[in-house]
């Protein structure tokens, strides 16, 4: 059997939801459906989830959320009407959500209601049984999934019916609603696939799978037919955003394959994500900006025992968690997301490091980006030579290279304002 997750644009209005039904009806294996909240119908439109967060902001200012909530109400009622669903319980549910937001039930509750209301509607339209994620999906304080989830949900699926679940949320151990991070319905779909022991997890979205580069940066990049769990994670880490990077974890133990497909072009095969691949093919290039680089140097730095540990602990005290790090003979370089520390905090942190570690040098630079070349057997690949040559020719300075630490990525550091040009240059050098 197959678990199908439909993203926000696939369930944004009644026409899209009709396509969902056609897709499900065309394959009897598609028995479990996970849905997002209605997303954007066009570029200028708003996602229901964003509007719900606007409602929370109003409520926390002590104002009624009605002006924004009415827009939300209108969207659901339009969908119900368009699909000819008689849903008196929908109006009741809408009223209840509005009251609860006004009463201050907060972000997790409000954010989750976009999916909840949509799943109530869609399950009715499809004739699938509705399962509330709050009853079955348990999310730990750190955002990870409690394993008891798979038993609870598996128990429900055992009856062998057709089920529709809202994505994006579950409950804390104590039972109150808790959401995943944004885009988290991908995680819910993966959880359902694991609990059901699915043969395939189909993730339906508005693009025909993953591309070798961001189409906003590179003109018509080529598609990716197949890649591995690890490669998806590492692509996401450097900015590619088709699939939530935390949505791989639930399917790993069962090795369930994931197929990213396009609701608007159901004939396209999309991208297949598999556990392992014996291939050295290059998959894609991606970039993520907004990093700060801190470099420290001291003669015989590593003579001091436990210095690496002490260094990372010191960073932690300033709220800094590095995304990438490099060790030299007498030096350490780290990159962290700039939003973690203001200029003032970075200044204080550097002064403190200099003093505590008696450093010879410490410096920092804002506005850094990391580019990742993702492929197979990257630690043996010489693609980085072509990349370096191409970047040099275009006079794009490389601030670091990390090759060999991963078998699926080679990383390059460049300046934030050059990252898009760098992606274009690398794409031309490696994929054209």
Question: In a 3-state reduction of DSSP, which class is residue 44?
Answer: coil
Could you tell me the smallest distance in angstroms from the CB atom of residue 218 to ligand ASP?
Answer: 25
Eight-state DSSP code of residue 326: E
| 391 vs 388: CA distance, rounded Å | 5
The answer to whether residue 36 forms part of the interface with ligand ASP (CB under 6 A) is yes
Separation of first and last alpha carbons in the chain: 38
| 180 vs 71: CA distance, rounded Å | 24
The answer to whether residue 185 forms part of the interface with ligand ASP (CB under 6 A) is yes
Break the chain down into helix, strand, coil percent, rounded to 5: 45, 25, 35
Could you tell me the smallest distance in angstroms from the CB atom of residue 37 to ligand ASP?
Answer: 4
The answer to whether residue 376 forms part of the interface with ligand ASP (CB under 6 A) is no
Could you tell me the smallest distance in angstroms from the CB atom of residue 20 to ligand ASP?
Answer: 14
The answer to whether residue 263 forms part of the interface with ligand ASP (CB under 6 A) is no
The burial class, CB within 10 Å (0-12 / 13-18 / 19+), for 342 is exposed
Eight-state DSSP code of residue 376: S
Q: Which is nearer to ligand ASP, 184 or 375 (CB)?
A: 184
The answer to whether residue 183 forms part of the interface with ligand ASP (CB under 6 A) is yes
- CA neighbor of 54 nearest in space, from 68, 73, 36: 68
Site string for ligand ASP, 309-348 (x = CB under 6 A): ----------------------------------------
Find out whether 110 and 177 touch, Cβ atoms under 8 Å.
Answer: no
Contact residue for ligand ASP among 2, 30, 47, 178 (CB under 6 A): 47
| 301 vs 356: CA distance, rounded Å | 12
Find out whether 205 and 262 touch, Cβ atoms under 8 Å.
Answer: yes
Contact residue for ligand ASP among 116, 125, 163, 168 (CB under 6 A): 168
Contact residue for ligand ASP among 10, 49, 208, 231 (CB under 6 A): 49
Q: Which stretch binds ligand ASP (CB under 6 A): 140-148, 179-187, 288-296, 306-314?
A: 179-187
Could you tell me the smallest distance in angstroms from the CB atom of residue 247 to ligand ASP?
Answer: 9
Contact residue for ligand ASP among 18, 81, 173, 182 (CB under 6 A): 182
Find out whether 192 and 165 touch, Cβ atoms under 8 Å.
Answer: yes
Contact residue for ligand ASP among 114, 221, 239, 270 (CB under 6 A): 114
Site string for ligand ASP, 242-261 (x = CB under 6 A): --------------------
Could you tell me the smallest distance in angstroms from the CB atom of residue 7 to ligand ASP?
Answer: 6
Contact residue for ligand ASP among 184, 209, 239, 270 (CB under 6 A): 184
For residue 163, list its beta bridge partners: 32, 129
Dihedral sign of CA atoms 63, 64, 66, 72 in order: positive
Find out whether 114 and 79 touch, Cβ atoms under 8 Å.
Answer: no
Contact residue for ligand ASP among 37, 87, 137, 207 (CB under 6 A): 37
- CA neighbor of 91 nearest in space, from 101, 102, 76: 76
Contact residue for ligand ASP among 167, 289, 372, 376 (CB under 6 A): 167
| 162 vs 323: CA distance, rounded Å | 41
Q: What is the binding site for ligand ASP (CB under 6 A)? A: 7-8, 36-37, 47, 49, 114, 167-168, 182-185
């Amino acid at each position: 059997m197959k678990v199908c997750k439909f993203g926000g644009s696939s369930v944004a209005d009644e026409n899209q939801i009709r396509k969902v039904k056609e897709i499900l009806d065309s394959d009897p294996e598609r028995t479990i459906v996970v849905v997002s909240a209605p997303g954007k119908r066009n570029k200028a439109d708003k996602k229901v989830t964003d509007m719900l967060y606007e409602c929370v902001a109003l409520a926390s200012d002590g104002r009624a959320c009605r002006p924004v909530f009415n827009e939300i109400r209108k969207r659901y009622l339009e969908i119900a009407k368009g699909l000819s669903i008689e849903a008196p319980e929908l109006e009741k549910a809408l009223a209840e959500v509005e009251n609860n937001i006004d009463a201050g039930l907060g972000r997790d509750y409000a954010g989750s209601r976009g999916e909840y209301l949509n799943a109530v509607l869609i399950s009715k339209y499809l004739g699938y049984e509705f399962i509330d994620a709050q009853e079955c999906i348990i999310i730990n304080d750190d955002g990870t999934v409690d394993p008891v989830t798979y038993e609870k949900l598996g128990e429900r699926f055992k009856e062998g019916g057709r089920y529709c679940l809202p994505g994006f949320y579950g409950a804390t151990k104590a039972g109150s609603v808790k959401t995943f991070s944004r885009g988290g319905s991908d995680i819910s779909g993966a959880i359902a696939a694991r609990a059901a022991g699915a043969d395939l997890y189909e993730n339906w979205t508005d693009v025909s799978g993953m591309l070798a580069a961001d189409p906003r940066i590179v003109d018509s990049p080529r598609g990716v037919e197949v890649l591995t769990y690890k490669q998806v994670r590492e692509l996401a880490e450097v900015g590619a955003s088709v699939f939530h990077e935390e949505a791989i974890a639930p399917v790993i133990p069962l090795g369930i394959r994931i197929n990213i497909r396009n609701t608007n072009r159901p004939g396209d095969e999309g991208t297949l994500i598999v556990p392992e691949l014996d291939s050295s093919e290059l998959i894609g290039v991606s970039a993520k900006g907004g990093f700060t680089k801190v470099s420290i140097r001291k003669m015989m730095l590593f003579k001091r025992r436990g210095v690496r540990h002490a260094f990372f602990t010191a960073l932690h005290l300033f709220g800094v968690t590095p995304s990438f790090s490099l060790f030299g003979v007498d030096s350490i370089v780290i990159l962290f997301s700039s939003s973690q520390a203001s200029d003032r905090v970075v200044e204080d942190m550097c002064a403190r490091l200099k003093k505590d570690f008696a450093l010879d040098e410490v410096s920092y630079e804002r506005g850094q980006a990391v580019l990742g070349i993702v492929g197979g057997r990257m630690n043996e690949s010489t693609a980085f030579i072509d990349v370096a040559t191409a970047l040099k020719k275009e006079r794009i300075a490389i601030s670091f290279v990390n090759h060999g630490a991963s078998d699926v990525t080679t990383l390059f550091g460049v300046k934030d304002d050059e990252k898009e040009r760098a992606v274009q240059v690398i794409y031309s050098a490696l994929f054209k």
